[in-house]
């Protein structure tokens, strides 16, 4: 079969500039390109500022980038759910408080209750705790959705009330006491030297990602050919393959370049009976479990939004709720399911956040709702509804965490951090308004 497309590709238009031809040939989302460019500028800016002030740059180092990925995971997971909520023209201001309440309940279950029943360190403690967190988060989200859909209360009011109620409940259930330490196996879900997959596991993941990239490009080309759609130029396909695999390999090299701390290496060597050589023992962290959880969530949510009826219904409701209802979509039941999914992801985020801090505190997740909303909006999710992507929200979460991490590294106090985050959020919404005006 000929590789010549039945329809000329838009990049073949002779009136386009070289940059326009490149963007059309590769079909790279310009907003995605802009977000990645902004994130790269943030990274370079903080690194150079640190180098100028302190004599060395601490941002673009394996240690900081690894920590950045772990710190982003919790907000990134919730941002994936917030995309759906905002697309359907709602908002959820309660996610930070729900995270705190859910983490507190999980702390009580695994520290106060289950050890007395199953015994300290029993493997079922982690399983039961995670199930409790996910079910509780889903139930709270579904309850919020029911109030919005079937009782007609605006989502802003329902979730604003939830922000106050669940934060108060988090304090009451444990009388404000910090519950720690959590189960040692549960703590692995939050990262740390032992909460990783190591050097070999990271290269295996990298290989699987590269295979998936090549398969998707090949399958996409075959699908276009079978339907008579225009094909990307071969050089554009090769460029995308090299770019995707290059980024995966680069990320793997970075996480594998970050070694375990010396004290933990000595402890590990003593446990395994390993003799430490004179020059020391280098053990790579590799990809952290929280980052892998975020990657799995991002992939699953992308498939859900792009390949299923549920995802099409979400975009239809966001585009025109009245038309969606007239076309036969049960918009009220969909609202309940969307908020339940948001609650499920909040419960998952609570697992990651409490495992990372190895404790459950009343303040856990405080102000996370603002960072989650900001991540979704920065990632291109329109507050007017109908527009948004999962990968955009994840990149938005990395942008937000990069700002926070960078300001901490260079010594900005909390007040300045809040000011910067607020300004960035307003600018992101303004950019979205300008983008939608140009798209009309």
Q: pLDDT, tens digit, for every residue of 384-397?
A: 889 999 999 999 99
Specify whether the CB–CB gap between 380 and 402 falls below 8 A. no
Q: Are residues 85 and 138 in the same domain?
A: yes
223 is written with which tokens?
């699908």
Q: Are residues 127 and 246 in the same domain?
A: no
Q: Are residues 180 and 208 in the same domain?
A: no
437 is written with which tokens?
């005006």
- What is the model's pLDDT at position 34? 82
- What is the model's pLDDT at position 5? 46
- What is the model's pLDDT at position 202? 97
Cα–Cα distance measured from residue 64 to residue 61, given in angstroms and rounded to the nearest whole number = 5
How far CA 215 is from CA of 169, 244, 314, in Å, comes to 48, 12, 28
Q: How many residues are present in the chain? A: 440
312 domain-assigned:
yes
Specify whether the CB–CB gap between 418 and 403 falls below 8 A. no
- What is the model's pLDDT at position 413? 82
Indicate the residue among 236, 257, 287 that finishes a domain: 287
Q: Are residues 410 and 295 in the same domain?
A: yes
Which residue(s) pair with 105 in the sheet?
Answer: none
Q: Are residues 399 and 271 in the same domain?
A: no
Task: Assign residue 394 the CATH number of its domain.
Answer: 1.10.3470
What pLDDT digit, counting tens, does each position of 78-93 carry? 999 999 999 999 999 9
Q: How confident is the model at residue 201 (pLDDT cuts 50, 70, 90)?
A: very high
Domain count, the chain: 2
Q: How confident is the model at residue 38 (pLDDT cuts 50, 70, 90)?
A: confident
- What is the model's pLDDT at position 4? 47
Q: Ramachandran region of residue 228, left (φ > 0), alpha (ψ -120 to 50) or beta?
A: left
Cα–Cα distance measured from residue 304 to residue 214, given in angstroms and rounded to the nearest whole number = 21
Q: Are residues 269 and 385 in the same domain?
A: no
- Residue identified by tokens 């359907």 is 88
4 domain-assigned:
no
Q: How confident is the model at residue 330 (pLDDT cuts 50, 70, 90)?
A: very high
7 domain-assigned:
no
Specify whether the CB–CB gap between 363 and 101 falls below 8 A. no
Domain housing 206: 196-287
Over residues 234-238, the mean pLDDT reads 92
Q: Are residues 261 and 234 in the same domain?
A: yes
What pLDDT digit, counting tens, does each position of 111-159 carry? 999 999 999 889 999 999 999 999 999 999 999 999 999 999 999 999 9
9 domain-assigned:
no
pLDDT exceeds cutoff 90 at 272 = no
Q: Are residues 335 and 421 in the same domain?
A: yes
Indicate the residue among 252, 287, 322 that finishes a domain: 287
Specify whether the CB–CB gap between 435 and 31 falls below 8 A. yes
Compute the mean pLDDT over every residue in the chain, rounded to the nearest whole number: 91
Over residues 51-64, the mean pLDDT reads 88
Cα–Cα distance measured from residue 359 to residue 357, given in angstroms and rounded to the nearest whole number = 5
Over residues 241-258, the mean pLDDT reads 97
What pLDDT digit, counting tens, does each position of 345-376 carry? 999 999 999 999 999 998 899 989 999 999 99
115 domain-assigned:
yes
Indicate the residue among 230, 261, 287 that finishes a domain: 287
- What is the model's pLDDT at position 200? 96
More confident residue, 273 or 2: 273
pLDDT exceeds cutoff 80 at 302 = yes
Q: How confident is the model at residue 2 (pLDDT cuts 50, 70, 90)?
A: very low
Q: Are residues 207 and 333 in the same domain?
A: no
Per residue, the 3-state secondary structure of the chain, as one string, reads CCCCCCCCCHHHCCCCCHHHHHHHHHCCCHHHHHHHHHHHHHHHHHHHHHHHHHCCCCCCCHHHHHHHHHHHHHHHHHHHHHHHHHHCCCCCCCHHHHHHHHHHHHHHHHHHHHHHHHCCCCCHHHHHHHHHHHHHHHHHHHHHHHHHHHCCCCHHHHHHHHHHHHHHHHHHHCCCCCECCCCHHHHHHHCCCCCECHHHHHHHHHHHHHHHHHHHHHHHHHHHHHHCCCCCCHHHHHHHHHHHHHHHHHHHHHHHCCECCHHHHHHHHHHHCCCCCCCCCCCECCCEHHHHHHHHHHHHHHHHHHHCHHHHHHHHHHHCHHHHHHCCCCHHHHHHHHHHHHHHHHHHHHHHHHHHHCCECCCCCCCHHHHHHHHHHHCCCCCCCCCCCHHHHHHHHHHHHHHHHHHHHCCCCHHHHHHHHHHHHHHHHHHHHHHHHHHC
111 domain-assigned:
yes
12 domain-assigned:
no
Q: Are residues 316 and 191 in the same domain?
A: yes
Q: Are residues 201 and 294 in the same domain?
A: no
Cα–Cα distance measured from residue 399 to residue 380, given in angstroms and rounded to the nearest whole number = 12
Q: Are residues 224 and 258 in the same domain?
A: yes
226 domain-assigned:
yes
């Amino acid at each position: 079969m000929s590789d010549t497309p039945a329809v000329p590709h838009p990049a073949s238009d002779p009136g386009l500039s070289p940059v326009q031809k490149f963007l059309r040939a590769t079909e790279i989302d310009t907003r995605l390109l802009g977000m990645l460019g902004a994130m790269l500028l943030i990274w370079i800016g903080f690194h150079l500022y640190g180098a100028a002030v302190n004599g060395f740059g601490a941002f673009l180092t394996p240690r900081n980038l690894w920590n950045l990925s772990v710190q982003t995971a919790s907000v990134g997971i919730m941002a994936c759910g917030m995309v759906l909520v905002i697309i359907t023209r709602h908002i959820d201001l309660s996610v930070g408080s729900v995270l705190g309440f859910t983490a507190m309940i999980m702390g009580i279950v695994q520290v106060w209750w289950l050890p007395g029943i199953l015994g300290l360190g029993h493997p079922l403690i982690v399983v039961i705790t995670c199930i409790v967190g996910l079910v509780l988060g889903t139930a709270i989200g579904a309850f919020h959705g029911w109030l919005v859909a079937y009782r007609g209360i605006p989502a802003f009011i329902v979730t604003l009330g939830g922000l106050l109620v669940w934060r108060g409940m988090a304090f009451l259930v444990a009388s404000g006491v910090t519950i720690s330490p959590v189960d040692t196996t549960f703590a692995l879900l939050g990262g740390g030297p032992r909460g990783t997959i190591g050097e070999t596991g990271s290269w295996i993941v990298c290989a699987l990602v590269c295979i998936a990239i090549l398969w998707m490009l090949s399958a996409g080309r075959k699908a276009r050919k079978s339907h008579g759609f225009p094909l990307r130029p071969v050089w554009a396909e090769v460029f995308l393959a090299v770019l995707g695999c290059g980024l995966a390999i680069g990320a793997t090299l970075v996480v594998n370049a970050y070694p375990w701390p010396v004290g933990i290496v000595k402890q590990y060597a003593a446990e395994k009976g390993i003799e430490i050589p004179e020059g020391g023992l280098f053990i790579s962290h590799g990809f952290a479990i929280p980052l892998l959880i975020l990657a799995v969530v991002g992939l699953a949510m992308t498939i859900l939004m792009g390949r299923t009826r549920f995802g099409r219904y979400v975009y239809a409701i966001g585009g025109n709720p009245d038309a969606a209802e007239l076309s036969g979509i049960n918009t009220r039941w969909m609202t309940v399911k969307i908020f339940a999914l948001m609650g499920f992801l909040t419960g998952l985020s609570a697992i990651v956040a409490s495992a990372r801090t190895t404790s459950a505190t009343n303040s856990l997740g405080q102000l996370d709702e603002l960072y989650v909303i900001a991540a979704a909006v920065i990632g291109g999710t329109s507050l007017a509804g109908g527009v948004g992507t999962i990968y955009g929200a994840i990149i938005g979460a990395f942008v937000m965490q990069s700002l926070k991490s960078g300001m901490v590294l260079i010594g900005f106090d909390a007040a300045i951090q809040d000011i910067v985050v607020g300004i960035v959020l307003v600018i992101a919404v303004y950019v979205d308004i300008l983008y939608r005006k140009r798209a009309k």
